[in-house]
Amino acid sequence: MSAFHGDPAIQAALLTRIDQALATNALSFGVTRWDAATVQGSALGISVEGTNAEHYAERFGYPLALASLLDPLAERMAGEPIAAGAFIRRWVADVAPGAPLGRAAARLLLWMLETPDVGMDDDPLGRTSIALHRQWLTDDPPSPKDWFALREQILDAEVPLHDFRRKARLALCEAASWPVDQGGSVLVEAMRYWLDFAALEPDADWSDEDERQKEATLAQLWNEQSDARAAGQPVSYPDLFAAVAPDLETRFRAHLTRTTARLPRRAALLGEQCLTLLGAAHAASPAPTGLDLR
């Protein structure tokens, strides 16, 4: 797969379109969308004047896994709109026409699995996942049976109730228990679970014991309200939580605010790594194809 089919004119036309959208605030950071009447939309929508990631992949020579990632990743960077806008522009500008991008998605997924804070090296299933993705990048990729075996082991794994980090790690492993080129969803799902680790970053004002107490309180409230739910009565669990554990609920809301603020920064780290991998792909000599951007 060759970026922009080796044609600098395709890249230049797409970059002009992105620049115009940024200059006129026509570019939105959220779900994939395109509004032909207002000429507004997400990065993918503006690029293809539609919402089909396969069209983006075909038109611009990006792997489907990356084309599918563009809008979801930009959406999670939306808390940092300048960074999100710069990311979308560099997504096009940093890539050399003709660069082979076929393995960039696999390398990005492997990078997520290998980030130290995820701790895959501390988990036998994490190590297996990393090994399979490393092997996928060789000339002897894993067989479907290898991926299936990993998924079975993940589903059979016993995890202590309050081992939040291993739960998050196995959720990421399960999302990544497929070859990255298996459609457009594998990389997107892996990104979502990788971003969840923002909630597990150390917080001096919210301990693991606080998290356990919060989970236990909410579970108790859920059980206590079974009759109300069965009767179709509305139940406000945030209000009940605040009533039975006001101090814990107040500190949890503050913790949630801090966690939410960390998400765009973590997404920006992923975006930067994605751009690094895209920019590192070396192109052969460009050969204009005359393909029409429209």
* Phi, psi dihedrals of residue 35, rounded to the nearest 5°: -120, 105
Burial class from Cβ neighbours inside 10 Å (0-12, 13-18, 19+) for residue 24 reads exposed
Q: Confidence class of residue 287 from pLDDT cuts 50, 70 and 90?
A: very low
Q: How many CB atoms lie within 10 A of CB 182?
A: 14
CA gap 101, 277 in Å, rounded? 9
pLDDT in tens, 35-65: 999 999 999 999 999 999 999 999 999 999 9
Dmax of the chain from CA atoms? 70
pTM: 0.86
Per-chain mean pLDDT for the chain? 92
| Cβ contact 74:59 at 8 Å | no
pLDDT in tens, 212-254: 999 999 999 999 999 999 999 999 999 999 999 999 999 999 9
pLDDT in tens, 134-163: 999 999 999 999 999 999 999 999 998 888
CA gap 132, 136 in Å, rounded? 6
Q: Is the pLDDT of residue 283 over 90?
A: no
CA gap 222, 220 in Å, rounded? 5
Q: Which residues contact 124 (CB under 8 A, 6 or more apart)?
A: none
Show the tokens assigned to 124.
């036998």
Q: Is the pLDDT of residue 125 over 90?
A: yes
Q: Is the pLDDT of residue 119 over 50?
A: yes
pLDDT for 161 = 81
CA gap 266, 69 in Å, rounded? 15
Report, as an integer, the average pLDDT of 1-26. Answer: 95
Nearest to 7 by CA among 293, 286, 294, 292: 286
Show the tokens assigned to 224.
């206590």
pLDDT for 293 = 38
Nearest to 245 by CA among 285, 214, 276: 214
